[in-house]
Amino acid sequence: MDKENHSIFKQFPQISIAEVIQFVQQHCRFMDAFTHIKPYDAKDKLDPMVIMACIIANATNLGIYKMADYWKCLEKE
């Protein structure tokens, strides 16, 4: 069995998972379905970047706490 990807994939540009999530959000507004777990602590509107970070953190098994540490490092730069 060939371990390379099918040649069709060479025709498509590589994009990040964040770009895929943003594309889906633009077309179907799925993030609007999210609500705050503690409504009394909620801001007026949820931050789509925070939702995306949580989705990626959990989907990659990184976890929200490690993702938060990563964001802190990015903010310092």
Q: What is the pLDDT of residue 28?
A: 95
pTM of the model: 0.65
Structure tokens at 51: 């939702």
Q: What is the pLDDT of residue 27?
A: 96
Helices (H), 1-77: 17-28, 48-59, 64-76
For each of the chain's 77 residues, which pLDDT tens digit applies? 567 778 888 888 989 888 999 999 999 999 989 887 777 777 677 788 888 888 888 888 888 888 777 766 666 65
Q: What is the pLDDT of residue 40?
A: 78
Q: What is the pLDDT of residue 10?
A: 85
Structure tokens at 56: 């990626």
